[in-house]
Amino acid sequence: MARILIASGVGPYADPWHPFERTSPLIADVLRDAGHEVHVRETVPGALLDVASFDLFVANAGGGIADGEAPSDSLMDDLEALKRYLIDGGRVLSIHTSNGAFGQLPEWRSAVGGHWGADSWHPDISDATFAPAPGAGEHPVWEGLRTIEVFDEKYSGLVIDDGVTPLVQHELEGRPEVMGWAVGHRVIFDGLGHDERSYESESRRQLLVNEVAWLLA
């Protein structure tokens, strides 16, 4: 059993499109059912100060203060704690839009291996099929899975850093679009999870369990 902290976006790390207040408890339920001790905290001052005491940090947040704008003093200590956690090699699972959170922290941007860019987009949310990226079919995150069938968004045109390991992709207009990857052995970005309907999918839930198991191995 691992101790897991889920940061659920509010305030500067919320947005009008993603119901983190509903999806974070669902993520927690899935991971508790897998035997983990899970703590869900909103991104308020003080929430991340003890992040180093956890085995895994799960970010389910978004938004972020605009580039060039300083975070409020009340969040500085939390960002510093997260920075230290990342520098020390802490394990991270970044969900859906959370690779764009904590924008004032270059270490976060570097850790998660990619982000939503100027040319990124997605078609309307719909029933979707996700498959292993080339060479990823034998990766442990795909254990017991062939595809993921889920009602979710198909993020496309993401800005992805060199050197990541693509894990999950979909096809759009005949083109493969990577939507999940690993950065080394301590970080995974999982682009699924727009809203609570994503977590109704058994295969999506299994992917989440597999990702966490691999990160903690």
DSSP the chain: --EEEEEE--GGG--SS--HHHHHHHHHHHHHHTT-EEEEEES-TTTTTTGGGSSEEEEE----PPTT-PPPHHHHHHHHHHHHHHHTT--EEEEGGGGGS-TT-HHHHHHH-EE--TT-B----EEEEEEEPTT-TTSGGGTT-S-EEEEE---BS-EE-TT-EEEEEEEETTEEEEEEEEETTTEEEE---SSGGGGG-HHHHHHHHHHHHHHH-
Look up the pTM and report it. 0.94
CA angle 33, 34, 38 (to 5 degrees): 75
Mean pLDDT of 25-44: 98
| Number of separate domains in the chain | 1
* Domain that includes residue 22, residue range: 3-216
Q: Is a pLDDT exceeding 70 seen at residue 92? A: yes
CATH number, domain of 84, equals 3.40.50.880
User: Could you tell me which residue, 50 or 14, shows the higher pLDDT?
Assistant: 50
pLDDT at 216: 98
pLDDT at 56 over 60: yes
The reported pLDDT for the residue numbered 25 is 99
What are the pLDDT digits (tens) for 150-162?
999 999 989 999 9
